[in-house]
């Protein structure tokens, strides 16, 4: 069984979820079936990934086979940038639910703190979006709410006015992008952190034109993996678990889907865990460059991530 964490509203989140970004229509249905049949109980989706309808077909299949019950699967989706206004949030979620063929989401995230407007401030405001999401919690359409790709400062802003505090913050985290400050901020406030791209997302590095070494080829990692007789991917997933996050390894390959889940009966020895916590190369792979505009609201990466100029 996949271990779970308890969120700040008492609900449970399975610590390993299937990542579905860049899984193409035509392959994601099969991947979701493999995952659920192999024991995955958490699927991380988004309207933007444009594949939720196939995930819905897979869910319907396993539910009707009796392999898994709806209440045993944790389903996350994310509001896209053009669905932030109070009028848009509910219809967007209704469409997600229709595609996934379910009547509620376990978790709804704001995908990016960006709406496409040009100007000095984000419009509609994140506050407007958050309040519309809170209403969906009251209605029971979504059980928990949170954000993705937010900085510590942007999470703090939400906390300052939230009636329903964020339960989950989902960001890029792996040994090449640790985000220690955000992790401790969330830890102190009982906000669960989910790590996306836990393998360093080798299939997106080209798209984001990320320069530099590939995480899965890191010499420290490779030597730890061989000493433990595990794959580098398994060691990275294990690192994420020991680091206190849930993790979302993406794969569409049945063997890799299975092996990525085979990480609960062993541990990284402390020295190996710590070695992976101190790799000096640090670089975010998923940048915000698509959302920058000289007129704002974000002119630079530094402004976007609240890291200075
Ligand atoms: P594939 O889908 O063909 O398995 P991340 O989760 O960090 O975004 O990384 C996803 C990428 O890592 C995908 O390209 C995926 O390819 C690949 N991948 C997933 N699991 C493994 C594994 N166990 N070993 C090697 N590559 C993997």
Q: Give the model confidence (pLDDT) of 189-210 as tens digits.
A: 999 999 999 998 877 655 665 6
At 235 the pLDDT is 98
Q: Is residue 261 part of a domain?
A: yes
Q: Is residue 149 part of a domain?
A: yes
Q: Is residue 212 part of a domain?
A: yes
Q: What is the extent of the structural domain holding 206? A: 11-304
Ligand 1 atom nearest to CA at 232: 24
Q: Is residue 16 part of a domain?
A: yes
- Ligand 1: centre distance to CA 174 (Å): 13
Q: Is the CB of 20 under 6 A from ligand 1?
A: no
Domain count, the chain: 1
Percent of the chain with pLDDT over 90: 90
At 212 the pLDDT is 79
- Ligand 1: centre distance to CA 194 (Å): 17
Angle between helices 52-65 and 86-100 (to 10 degrees): 50
At 208 the pLDDT is 60
pTM over 0.80: yes
> Tokens in use for 163?
């009636």
- What is the rounded distance in angstroms from the CA atom of residue 178 to the CA atom of residue 193? 12
Best residue among 230, 253, 284 to mutate for probing ligand 1, ranked by most atoms within 8 Å of CB = 253
At 259 the pLDDT is 98
What contacts 196, CB < 8 A, 6 or more positions away?
19, 21, 44, 148, 170, 171, 172, 173, 248, 286
Q: Which of 49, 114, 176, 298 is catalytic?
A: 49
Ligand 1 atom nearest to CA at 174: 7
At 29 the pLDDT is 96
Burial class (CB in 10 A: 0-12, 13-18, 19+), 278: exposed
At 209 the pLDDT is 57
At 204 the pLDDT is 67
Q: Is the CB of 77 under 6 A from ligand 1?
A: no
- Ligand 1: centre distance to CA 57 (Å): 23
Q: Is the CB of 200 under 6 A from ligand 1?
A: yes
Q: Which residues of the chain have pLDDT under 50?
A: none
298 flagged as catalytic: no
At 304 the pLDDT is 96
Q: Is residue 2 part of a domain?
A: no
Mode of pairing for the β-strands spanning 4-6 and 12-14: antiparallel
- Ligand 1: centre distance to CA 103 (Å): 30
User: 107 pairs with which residues across the strands?
Assistant: 76, 144
Q: Is residue 309 part of a domain?
A: no
At 149 the pLDDT is 98
Nearest CA to ligand 1 atom 17: 251
At 206 the pLDDT is 59
At 108 the pLDDT is 99
Q: Is residue 181 part of a domain?
A: yes
**CATH number reported for the structural domain that contains residue 122 in this entry:** 3.20.20.100
**Residue ranges in 144-213 assigned as alpha helix (H):** 152-161, 180-188
Contact by Cβ (8 Å): 99, 132: no
Does the interface ipTM go beyond 0.95?
yes
At 210 the pLDDT is 64
- What is the rounded distance in angstroms from the CA atom of residue 96 to the CA atom of residue 79? 9
pLDDT digits (tens, 9 = 90+) for 251-306: 999 999 999 999 999 999 999 999 999 999 999 888 899 999 999 999 999 999 99
Q: Is residue 203 part of a domain?
A: yes
């Amino acid at each position: 069984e996949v271990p779970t964490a308890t969120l700040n509203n008492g609900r449970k989140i399975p610590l390993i979820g299937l990542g579905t970004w860049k899984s193409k229509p035509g392959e994601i249905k099969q991947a979701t079936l493999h995952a659920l049949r192999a024991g995955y109980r958490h699927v991380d989706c988004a309207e933007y990934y444009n594949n939720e309808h196939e995930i819905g077909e897979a869910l319907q299949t396993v539910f009707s086979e009796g392999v898994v019950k709806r209440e045993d699967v944790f389903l996350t989706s994310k509001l896209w940038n053009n669905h932030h206004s109070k009028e848009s949030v509910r219809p967007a979620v209704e469409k997600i639910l229709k595609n996934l063929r379910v009547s509620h989401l376990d978790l709804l995230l704001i995908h990016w703190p960006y709406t496409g407007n040009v100007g000095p401030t984000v419009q509609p405001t994140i506050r407007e979006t958050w309040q519309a999401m809170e209403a969906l919690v009251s209605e029971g359409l979504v059980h928990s709410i949170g954000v993705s790709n937010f900085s510590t400062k942007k999470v703090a802003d939400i906390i300052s006015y939230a009636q329903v505090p964020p339960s989950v913050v989902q960001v890029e985290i792996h040994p090449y992008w640790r985000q220690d400050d955000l992790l401790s901020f969330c830890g102190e406030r009982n906000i669960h952190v989910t790590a996306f791209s836990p393998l360093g997302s080798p299939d997106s590095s080209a798209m984001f034109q990320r320069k530099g070494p590939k995480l899965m080829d890191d010499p420290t990692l490779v030597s730890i993996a061989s000493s433990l007789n595990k794959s580098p991917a398994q060691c990275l997933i294990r690192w994420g678990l020991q680091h206190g996050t849930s993790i979302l390894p993406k794969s569409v390959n049945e063997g890799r889907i299975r092996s990525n889940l085979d990480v609960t009966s062993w541990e990284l020895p402390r020295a190996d865990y710590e070695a992976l916590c101190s790799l000096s190369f640090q670089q975010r792979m998923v940048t915000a460059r698509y959302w920058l505009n000289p007129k704002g609201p974000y002119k630079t990466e530094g402004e976007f991530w609240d890291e200075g100029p």
